[in-house]
């Protein structure tokens, strides 16, 4: 394979910025390269070279380079026309004249909103935009194996991933619409040509089997310390239902996730009690950590009643952020008439935090209205130790979420 030219189409808006993330969005080849590197690592982590971290790093650098050596391939991103953009407020507007919103999309993309700190709302590259991506060997180099690995990473990205901010929550979804290049028949097709969710499931299963044969994915179970596509370490779930737009699809998922996580016992009441100074159980657990960190909590009732503490954030004691193991994608299906979409989810098991690290609830730091303090003085932040749920408890939480989706969105298909 000498040169691979593909046309990508944005299925959902892409939040990708330059020096100013809240300025005009722009496509960056480095972001695409980073996304491809992530999926290559997930693939190679399930092979024999993934058993040792230094071997995995070497295998990854053989495709995308490292600080010590250049990459044998070049990734180029181009656009033929000026890309259309959309503001967050317009993106979530369902019917402007009626002031109706897509509440599920608003929930999933909340980080793009205008903030009270004066940060402007983010803009995104609109859905339906055409993007040209070229992957080719560096001049004077020829490395067919590196090109094959890059192709495999692109297949995984186009089916399960995305680019830009909030890609794990459905933003930045891309699908390949056209391919030029000498593609080996032992590699899966990049173009989605499925008319239904069940056909999509079968094509994905076929594609994963091809990658397993080509790259030697180990059959025996592994427990990697990072996100890897080894057998038993991931699950793919597709909603067996079609939607008329990406908004309808993602909004249905977003509302279900919001409602599942909202006011879940016992942590909702436990954290509310801690904020009010009421004694809580020793080292209470926060099961919704299964969806990633940090987790903000806000209690409108406490705010309305002028309570000194009405918000808090649960995070790791040493690690503020941990990516969600659950990735959601909107997939556009092939259709002879109107557009059809469905929802695809990939759950990749991974250690939430290193061994012996706990969660903490951090709160305070704002002005305390219940006592006299000097102008500008702030209360010191408070920290409350929380227990990290076990792997089995987090797996059970996610299983309950999938069950909730089946009840409130649609039946599911699993791979």
Same domain? For 165 and 314 the reply is no
DSSP labels, 278-298: ----SS-B-GGGGG-B-EEEE
Amino acid 379: pLDDT: 63
DSSP-assigned letter for residue 159: H
Element (H, E) at 343: strand 340-348
Domain boundary (145, 175, 207) is at: 207
Look at residue 282 in the predicted model and tell me its pLDDT.
66
pLDDT tens digits, one per residue of 248-274: 999 999 999 999 998 777 888 889 999
Nearest to 176 by CA among 13, 16, 30, 10: 10
Contact 359, 271 (CB under 8 A): no
Three-state DSSP at 337 gives: coil
Instruction: Specify whether 298 is located in the same domain as 198.
Output: no
Same domain, 92 and 149: yes
- As to burial, measured by CB atoms within 10 angstroms (0-12 exposed, 13-18 middle, 19+ buried), residue 61 is middle
Domain boundary among the residues 155, 182, 207 is at: 207
- State whether 284 and 403 are in the same domain: yes
This prediction's pTM? 0.92
Question: Which of 240 and 227 is assigned the larger pLDDT?
Answer: 240
**238 within some domain:** no
- Residue pair 346/159 in contact (Cβ under 8 Å)? The answer is no
Higher pLDDT, 95 or 35: 35
Spatial contact of 171 and 123, defined as CB atoms under 8 Å apart: no
Which DSSP symbol is given to 191? B
Residues 6 or more apart from 231 whose CB is under 8 A from it? 46, 217, 218, 219, 220, 221
Query: Does 235 fall in a domain?
Result: no
Structural domain for 254, as ranges: 247-327+334-414
Alpha-carbon span 6 to 150, nearest angstrom: 13
215 within a domain of the structure (yes/no): no
Examine residue 358 and state whether it is found in any structural domain, yes or no.
yes
> By percentage, how much of the chain surpasses pLDDT 90?
65
Instruction: Give residue 370's pLDDT.
Output: 46
Question: Is 314:323 a contact under the CB 8 Å cutoff?
Answer: no
Q: Are residues 184 and 258 part of one domain? A: no
Do 379 and 257 have their domain in common?
A: yes
Contact between 127 and 17 (Cβ < 8 Å) = no
CA neighbor of 28 nearest in space, from 156, 163, 161, 169? 163
Give me the mean pLDDT over the 7-21 stretch: 90
Same domain, 271 and 373: yes
| Mean pLDDT within 281-300 | 88
| pLDDT for position 55 | 87
Kindly state the tokens that stand for 141. Answer: 């180099």
What total number of domains does the chain contain?
A: 2
Q: Does any domain span residue 171?
A: yes
Residue 216 lies in a domain: no
Among 14-23, 55-64, 346-355, the minimum mean pLDDT is found in 14-23
Give yes or no for residue 284 having a pLDDT over 90: no
Would 217 be classed as within a structural domain?
no
Read off the CATH number of the domain in which 113 is found: 3.30.70
| Of 341, 156, 333, 343, nearest in space to 237 by CA | 343
Whether the per-residue pLDDT at 373 is higher than 50: the answer is: no
Domain finish residue from 156, 190, 207: 207
Residue 308 — pLDDT band, cuts 50, 70, 90? confident
pLDDT-based confidence at residue 131 (cuts at 50, 70, 90): very high
Q: Are residues 59 and 157 in the same domain?
A: yes
377 pLDDT more than 90: no
Residue 371 has pLDDT above 60, yes or no: no
Q: How far lies 383's CA from each of 280, 283, 317, 377, 386, in Å?
A: 13, 12, 10, 19, 9
In a shared domain, residues 147 and 292: no
d(CA 88, CA 229): 33
Two structure tokens written together for 403? 């069950």
If you average pLDDT over every residue of the chain, what do you get? 89
Q: What is the model's pLDDT at position 307?
A: 86
182 and 251 in a single domain? The answer is: no
With cut-offs at 50, 70 and 90, classify the pLDDT of residue 78: very high
Helix, strand, coil proportions of the chain in percent (round to 5)? 35, 25, 45
* pLDDT on residue 285: 85
Q: Is 141 helix (H, G, I), strand (E, B) or coil?
A: coil
Where is pLDDT greater, at 371 or 385?
385
Assess whether 27 and 171 both reside in one domain: yes
* Whether 189 and 253 share a structural domain: no
Q: Which residues contact 341 (CB under 8 A, 6 or more apart)?
A: 11, 242, 243, 244, 245, 246, 248, 249, 330, 331, 332, 333
Q: What pLDDT does 201 receive?
A: 98
pLDDT tens column, 144-168: 899 999 999 999 999 999 999 999 9
The pLDDT value recorded for residue 351 is: 86
Confidence category of residue 366, pLDDT binned at 50, 70, 90: low
Q: Which long-range contacts (CB under 8 A, 24 or more apart) does 411-414 make?
A: 411/239, 411/240, 411/241, 412/237, 412/238, 412/239, 412/240, 413/197, 413/198, 413/201, 413/237, 413/238, 413/239, 413/240, 414/235, 414/236, 414/237, 414/238
pLDDT reported for residue 172 = 98
**Model confidence band, residue 81 (pLDDT cutoffs 50, 70, 90):** confident
Nearest to 275 by CA among 238, 250, 322, 307: 307
3-state secondary structure of 163: coil
| 264 occurs within a structural domain | yes
């Amino acid at each position: 394979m000498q040169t691979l030219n593909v046309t990508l189409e944005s299925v959902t808006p892409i939040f990708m910025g330059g020096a100013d993330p809240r300025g005009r969005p722009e496509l960056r080849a480095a972001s695409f390269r980073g996304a491809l590197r992530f999926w290559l690592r997930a693939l190679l982590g399930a092979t024999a070279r993934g058993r040792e971290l230094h071997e995995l790093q070497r295998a990854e650098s053989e495709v995308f380079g490292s600080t010590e050596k250049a990459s044998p391939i070049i990734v180029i991103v181009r656009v033929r026309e000026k890309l259309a953009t959309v503001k967050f407020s317009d993106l979530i507007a369902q019917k402007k004249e009626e002031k109706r919103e897509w509440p599920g999309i608003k929930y999933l993309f909340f980080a793009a909103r205008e903030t009270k700190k004066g940060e402007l709302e983010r803009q995104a590259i609109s859905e339906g935009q055409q993007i040209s991506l070229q992957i080719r060997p560096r001049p004077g180099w020829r490395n067919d194996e590196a090109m094959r690995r890059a192709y495999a990473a692109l297949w995984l990205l186009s089916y399960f991933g995305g680019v830009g901010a909030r890609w794990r929550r459905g933003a930045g979804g891309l699908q390949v619409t056209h391919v030029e290049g000498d593609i080996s028949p032992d590699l899966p097709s990049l173009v989605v040509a499925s008319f239904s969710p069940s056909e999509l499931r079968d094509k994905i299963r076929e594609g994963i089997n091809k990658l397993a044969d080509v790259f030697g994915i180990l059959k025996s179970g592994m427990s990697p310390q990072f996100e890897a596509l080894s057998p038993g370490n991931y699950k793919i779930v597709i909603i067996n239902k079609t939607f008329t737009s990406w908004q309808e699809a993602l909004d249905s998922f977003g509302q279900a996730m919001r409602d599942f996580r909202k006011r879940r016992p016992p942590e909702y009441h436990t954290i509310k009690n801690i904020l009010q100074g009421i004694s809580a159980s020793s080292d209470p657990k926060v099961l919704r950590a299964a969806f990633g960190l940090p987790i903000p909590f806000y209690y409108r009732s406490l705010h309305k009643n002028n309570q000194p503490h009405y918000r808090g954030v649960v995070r790791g004691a040493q690690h503020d952020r941990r990516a969600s193991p659950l990735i959601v994608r909107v997939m556009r299906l092939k259709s002879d008439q109107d557009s059809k979409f469905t929802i695809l989810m990939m759950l990749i098991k991974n250690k939430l935090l290193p061994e012996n690290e706990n969660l903490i609830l951090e709160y305070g730091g704002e002005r305390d209205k219940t006592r006299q303090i000097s102008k500008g003085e702030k209360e010191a932040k408070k920290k409350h130790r929380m227990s990290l749920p076990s792997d089995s408890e987090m797996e059970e939480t996610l299983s309950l979420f999938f069950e909730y989706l089946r009840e409130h969105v649609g039946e599911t298909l699993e791979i």
